[in-house]
Amino acid sequence: MPQKGIIFDIQRASLHDGPGIRTTVFLKGCPLRCIWCHNPESWILQPQLLYKEYKCTGCLSCVSACSSGAHNVSRKGTHLLNREQCQNCFQCVEECVYGALKASGWETDIIAVMKEVEKDCQYYMNSGGGITLSGGEPMLQFEFTLNLLKAASARNIHTCLETCGFGKREQYQAVMRYTDLFLFDMKSVDSQKHYELTGVHNEIILENLDFLYAGEAAIVLRCPLVPGVNDSDDQLEGIAALSRKYPGLKGIELLPYHNMGRKKWAEAGYAYPLDDIGNTEESVKRTWISKLRKMGCDKAVLA
| Cα 250 from Cα 149, distance rounded (Å) | 20
Residue 246 has pLDDT above 80, yes or no: yes
Q: 78 falls in which pLDDT band (50, 70, 90)?
A: confident
**Residue boundaries of the structural domains of the chain:** 4-45+107-260+274-302, 48-104
| Cα 93 from Cα 172, distance rounded (Å) | 37
pLDDT, tens digit, 9 for 90 and up, residues 189-212: 999 999 999 999 999 999 999 999
Percent of the chain with pLDDT over 70: 99
Domains 4-45+107-260+274-302 and 48-104 in one fold: no
In the prediction, which pLDDT does 120 show?
Answer: 96
Mean pLDDT of 269-287: 95
CB atoms within 10 A of CB 168: 12
Q: 115: phi > 0 → left, psi -120 to 50 → alpha, else beta; which?
A: alpha
Could you give the residue ranges of the DSSP H alpha helices within the chain?
61-65, 91-95, 110-117, 121-127, 142-154, 169-176, 191-198, 203-214, 233-245, 262-268, 282-294
**CATH number of the structural domain 48-104:** 3.30.70.20
Q: 147 falls in which pLDDT band (50, 70, 90)?
A: very high
**CATH number of the structural domain 4-45+107-260+274-302:** 3.20.20.70
pLDDT, tens digit, 9 for 90 and up, residues 89-124: 999 999 999 999 999 999 999 999 999 999 999 999
Q: Give the torsion sign (CA, 247, 249, 254, 259).
A: negative
Residue 2 has pLDDT above 70, yes or no: no
In the prediction, which pLDDT does 75 show?
Answer: 86
Residue 1 has pLDDT above 70, yes or no: no
Question: What is the enclosing helix (H) or strand (E) of 295?
Answer: none
Mean pLDDT of 279-283: 97
Residue 268 has pLDDT above 80, yes or no: yes
Instruction: Read off the pTM.
Output: 0.94
Q: Give the torsion sign (CA, 249, 253, 254, 259).
A: negative
In the prediction, which pLDDT does 187 show?
Answer: 97
pLDDT, tens digit, 9 for 90 and up, residues 41-65: 999 999 999 999 999 999 999 999 9
Residue 161 has pLDDT above 80, yes or no: yes
In the prediction, which pLDDT does 77 show?
Answer: 84
The 3-state DSSP class for residue 98 equals coil
Virtual CA dihedral for 256, 259, 261, 263, nearest 10 degrees?
Answer: 180
What mean pLDDT, rounded, does the chain reach? 96
What DSSP string runs through 199-226? SS-SHHHHHHHHHHHHTT--EEEEEEE-
